[in-house]
Amino acid sequence: MTYASSILGLLPGGRRAPGIDQLASKIEAYLPPDQVERVREAHEYAEAAHAGQKRQSGEAYITHPIAVADILADLHMDGPTLTAAVLHDVVEDTPSSAVEVEQRFGKEVAEIVDGVTKLDQVQFKSRKEAQAESFRKMILAMVRDIRVIMVKLADRTHNMRTIAAMPPPKRRAVARETLDIYAPIANRLGIHSLKLELEEIGFRTLYPQRYRVIEREMRRARGNQREFLPKIVKALRQALAGGNVTGRVEAREKHLYSIYMKMRRKKLPLAQVIDMFGVRIIVGNADDCYRVLGLVHGLYRPMPGRFKDYIAIPRVNGYQSLHTTLFGPNGMPLEVQIRTEDMHRMAESGIAAHWQYKTGEHDGESQQLRAREWLAGVMQMHDGSAEELLESVKVDLFPDKVYVFTPKGDIMRLPRGATCVDFAFAVHTGVGQRCVAAKVDRRLVPLRTVLRNGQTVEIITAKGAQPNPAWASFVTTAKARSAIRQYLRGLKRGEAVELGSRMLNQALEEFSLSLKSLPAGRMDEVAQSLSLKDGRELLEKIGLGERLARLIARRLLPADDERPQGGPPPPLAIAGTEGLVVSYARCCLPIPNDAIVAYLSSGRGVVIHRENCANVAAFGKQPDKWIPAVWQKDQQRLFSAGLNVEVVNKMGMLAQIATQIAAEQSNIVHVNVDTSQGDQSTILFEVQVRDRAHLARLMRAIRSMPEVTRVERSLA
As annotated, the active-site residues are 92-93
3-state secondary structure of 324: strand
Rounded Cα distance between 512 and 492, Å, is 30
Rounded Cα distance between 256 and 564, Å, is 76
Rounded Cα distance between 96 and 472, Å, is 49
Give 284's contacts (C-beta < 8 A, 6+ positions apart). 246, 247, 340, 341
- 268 and 275 in contact (C-beta within 8 Å)? no
Would strands 667-677 and 708-714 be described as parallel, antiparallel, or unpaired?
unpaired
- 656 and 708 in contact (C-beta within 8 Å)? no
Phi, psi dihedral angles at 588 (to 5 degrees): -140, -10
Rounded Cα distance between 526 and 536, Å, is 11
Name the residue type at position 31.
Answer: L
- DSSP H helical segments within 469-602, as ranges? 478-508, 522-529, 535-543, 549-556
Rounded Cα distance between 704 and 529, Å, is 62
Rounded Cα distance between 201 and 208, Å, is 10
* Rounded alpha-carbon distances, angstroms, from residue 355 to 26, 362, 368, 668, 680: 16, 11, 10, 62, 76
Which residues face 435 on adjacent strands? 461
Environment class of 444 (CB within 10 Å of its CB; exposed 0-12, middle 13-18, buried 19+): exposed
Angle at the Cα of 448 from the Cα atoms of 446 and 454, rounded to 5 degrees: 85
- 295 and 238 in contact (C-beta within 8 Å)? no
Q: Which of 319, 114, 363, 314 is nearest to 355 (CA)?
A: 363
Q: Which of 421, 379, 420 is nearest to 396 (CA)?
A: 379
- 454 and 405 in contact (C-beta within 8 Å)? yes
DSSP annotation of 670 reads: E
Burial 233-257 (b: 16+ CB within 10 A, else e): eebbeebbeeeebebebebeebbbb
